[in-house]
């Protein structure tokens, strides 16, 4: 079995795509109206409009209702990400913080309120 992707259902597809493009510096693929993919090294983040879910899987998912998952991204320079995202008004839940296990971590909220952890591991 191959883990393929995580998909976030949203009412704000363009805002979500813009957020994750700004966060990552990657360009989203938009193979269909209301659907986008961000292909990161080792994982894919898919985004689907709530209209697509209503059309093909009515009632299966609700946009902006996540209270339990955290999307996590490992980067080289957490402070640079903080500066870039803070400058455009992204909601910062926790500014860059040194965690007890050695990671530098930054918690943000995407446009749907999903929690996003951006972190770097200690240099060894």
Whether the model clears a pTM of 0.95, i.e. scores above it, the answer is no
Please give the class, per CATH, of domain 1-59.
alpha beta
- pLDDT of 94 strictly over 80: yes
Q: How many CB atoms lie within 10 A of CB 28?
A: 19
SS3 call for 47:
strand
Per-residue model confidence as pLDDT tens digits over 13-32: 999 999 999 999 999 999 99
Assign domain 66-124 one CATH number from 3.10.180.10, 3.40.50.300, 3.30.460.20, 3.30.460.10.
Answer: 3.10.180.10
Q: Report the pLDDT averaged over residues 49-78.
A: 85
- pLDDT for residue 109: 96
Per-residue model confidence as pLDDT tens digits over 38-48: 999 889 999 99
Comparing 29-43, 55-69, 86-100, which segment has the lowest mean pLDDT?
55-69
> In whole angstroms, how far apart are CA 2 and each of 37, 64, 69, 118?
17, 27, 20, 24
Residue 35 sits at φ, ψ, to 5 deg, of: -140, 140
């Amino acid at each position: 079995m191959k883990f393929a992707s995580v998909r976030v259902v949203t009412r704000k597809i363009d805002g979500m795509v813009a957020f994750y493009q700004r966060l990552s510096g990657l360009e989203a693929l938009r193979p269909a109206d209301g659907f986008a993919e961000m292909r990161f090294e080792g994982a894919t983040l898919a985004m689907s409009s709530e209209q697509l879910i209503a059309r093909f899987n009515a009632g299966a998912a609700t946009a902006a209702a996540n209270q339990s998952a955290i999307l996590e991204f490992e980067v080289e320079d957490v402070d640079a990400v903080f500066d870039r995202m803070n400058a455009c008004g992204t909601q910062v839940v926790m500014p860059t913080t040194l965690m007890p296990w050695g990671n530098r971590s930054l918690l943000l909220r995407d446009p749907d309120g999903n929690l996003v952890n951006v972190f770097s591991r200690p240099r060894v």
